[in-house]
Chain A
Amino acid sequence: MDQTVLIQSILIPAAQILLILMVLPLLIAYLQLVERKVLGFMQVRLAPRRVGWHGLLQPIADAVKLLIKEDTIPEKSDRFLFTLAPIVTVIPALTALAVIPFASESFTLFGYTVRPFITDINIALVFLLSISSLGIYGIILGGWASNSKYSLLGALRSSAQMISYEVPLGFAVVGVMMLTGTASMVGIVNAQKEAGVWYVLPQILGFFCYFIAAVAETNRVPFDLPEAEAELVAGFHTEYSGMKFALFFLAEYTNMIVVSSIATILFFGGWLRPFPNVSGLDFLENGWLVLGPLVAGAFLGWLVDQRLGGGLRLMFAGGIAGTALGVLIARSDVMGLASWHMPAVSGMFWFSLKVSFFLFLYIWFRGTYPRYRYDQLMALGWKWLIPLSILNVIGTGLAIVIAG
């Protein structure tokens, strides 16, 4: 085999996989910190502050703690399955990331073409749906192997819930596939670019069903019954500790990132900037030039607001001023910042921004909602989401036929 081909087709993807595997745990550790900080803000308390400046090293401390913690295995558990379960849960979650494109345009690194995703297969969407269902095995194995009644109840709830919500999840994405005629992630985003509209508008019902089902699928509030601490202590991972627990945790957060990424790609134009076909907004390709001053201005305004006590007026003023400054920099290229432009980086910027928005929604839900009851959860899934998502498929089909 030619050396270039070898590097191009094997070494680069391998390096990408390694990169994701190394970066993702860190990312998730910090996502956890963000979650705690945001929840702290919503709940009028301070959140972590002890380790590092404003708790910035807290995730590292937590990771170290999990690593050095005693790894207990209950005496009467099935040792083999008990150990296997976290692995079975975390592998499908990580595998799903293989087909998530973070941007589309390739770039050149040391003379080799690198694509900003591991692979683009033409059945990516189907692959994602099937691989995410596999995670249930780990949960039910873990719950059963623990030989604890609370774990078993949690595992049963979890599997029933995930299986029920697979159905509306699958139906919800069918609408998008019908519109684009492809199940490739890159293809779906490119179709949105051609259509000049994010699919959240024509597929609002589909998005609605998808997102609710996705929250349920990842076992997050308000659908976090499997680990309802008030009833089942901690659900299927009650008996787990140390790194095994950390793997379950990693899987849950990876799943959150994956479903948010799918939502972004299917309904919010993936790595496309807002209004991808309006050339007057081309400066948004360098989105950080606008967003950076916006956030900085709002933050400074907020700081002054805090000093003066009460009100958020200066925060909004600072935000608006920052935006104006940012637009000026990006449009007129005052400091030559805007002339440096790389499509892959721009794509990743917008992509991660949109995914962060969904992750923020997850946290927001957690700060707001009580928990559903088991039967209510099932009723919501089977009586509302499945009919609605089927209705969406039929409606989309009719619209396509009528529009020709």
Chain B
Amino acid sequence: MFRTEEMDINMGPQHPSTHGVLRLKLTLDGEEVAEMRPVIGYLHRGVEKLCEHRTYPMIEPLTDRLDYVAAISENLGYCGAVEKLMGLVVPPRAQYIRVILAELQRIASHLLWLGTHALDLGAMTVFFYTFREREMILDLFEAFCGARLTYNSMRIGGLYEDVPGGWTDRVRQFIDIFPSREKEYEDLLTVNRIWLGRTRGVGILKPEDAVALGASGPTLRGSGVDYDVRRAQPYSSYEQFEFDVPVGRNGDTYDRYIVRMEEMRQSCRIVRQALDKLPEGEVRAKVPKYIKPPTGEVYHVVESPRGEQGFYIVHKSGEMPYRMRFRSPSFVNLQALPLMCKGLLIADIVAVIGSIDIVLGDVDR
């Protein structure tokens, strides 16, 4: 007469905390997750194929729409790949400004992550605080390039224009006040007993699993693997800056949280150094009007806020790439989700999804 059965639940693609159109097929045993299968592809636009029919400068706006939360990192990676293919040397001033932009973007992206992650766990106020600061960064980007989300901020060989007058002072103002604002979030979360209870020991990813699955970025470093592309394969003169790479110990949701919080501080540090050492000069190398790279293949990686963002270009002839492939960190990190969620409660899934910080535009491309 009495029997229990497992319940299938469809979480997403329209669900408030799957951060976009991720769909999870859950098999629940009461509140416990017996099985989870992520279903992706709801945001697939075929960007890689589209790239084969566009000239190199026309591709950059498409990269904005991959990881739309951190578009500048994508721009930086793409431009870097083409420059590598062409053997261009970007002027130092442009390199430094690129670093400033990329690190501000990392802070903005992490702020969005923190706000939504906390919102998923029920702490709604943090969301408004982080958006207050993210707004300031977006204002800086708007002053630089006129856009607030899809920037198309760089050009192959450097930047379209130098930064506007007074911009560096505004950036300096921001990084001066940001640490105190970050302390506000930490006061609300880091030592909060409920927050600790919700994140500690939840969604543990062992270092060997993280490496085997190809995880990168804070998801990898939260598990204690000390690997950061900015330091391992420096690009855009990252080797000239001093910064620490924070790593976690247990690989749980809390460690990934702590790693990202520390990364924001380190980004501030890098921006400050870049502002102090900002060289004068040109912001764009001599680039031919029609970009026709030599025949060949190139792979270039950058550390995006989500992890290792790679661009693989095969060029045969003409102005368009023959083949294009993006290695998107969200897609790879998402593979770790079923492993981390096994045996957790349904409420923990939300915490774990938040902690790997996926962007569906990046997963599906």
Contacts and interface: CB of A to CB of B under 8 A. Distances in A.
A230 B125 contact: no
Interface stretch (A80-88, A124-132, A370-378): A370-378
Interface band, chain B: 20 to 34
B147 interface: no
A224 B347 CA distance: 12
Given A43-B124, A370-B195, A370-B198, A228 B347 contact: yes
Nearest to B26: A149
Nearest to A229: B16
Interface residues of A, number: 30
B317 interface: no
B7 interface: yes
Contact of B128 (A44, A230, A233): A44
Given A149-B7, A153-B31, A367-B124, A373 B119 contact: no
A271 to B, nearest CB: 34
A225 B125 CA distance: 18
A230 B194 contact: no
A376 B197 contact: yes
Contacts of A339: none
A184 to B, nearest CB: 37
A341 interface: no
Q: Which 5 A-B pairs have CB atoms at the shortest separation, nearest pair first?
A: A371-B122, A43-B128, A370-B123, A230-B17, A230-B120
A382 to B, nearest CB: 16
B240 interface: no
A221 interface: yes
A45 interface: yes
7 contacts: A43-B128, A230-B119, A231-B347, A366-B124, A368-B123, A370-B121, A371-B194
Nearest to B11: A231
B6 to A, nearest CB: 12
Contact of B121 (A150, A230, A375): A230
Interface of B: 7, 9, 15-17, 31, 118-125, 128-129, 132, 188-189, 192, 194-195, 197-198, 345-350
Residue among B129, B132, B189, B346 facing the most chain A CB atoms (10 A cut-off) = B346
A53 interface: no
A150 B10 CA distance: 10
A39 to B, nearest CB: 8
Given A225-B347, A230-B121, 15 more contacts: A42-B125, A43-B128, A44-B129, A153-B346, A228-B347, A231-B346, A369-B122, A370-B118, A371-B123, A371-B198, A372-B194, A373-B345, A373-B347, A373-B348, A375-B345
Contact of A228 (B122, B129, B194, B197): B122
B31 A374 contact: yes
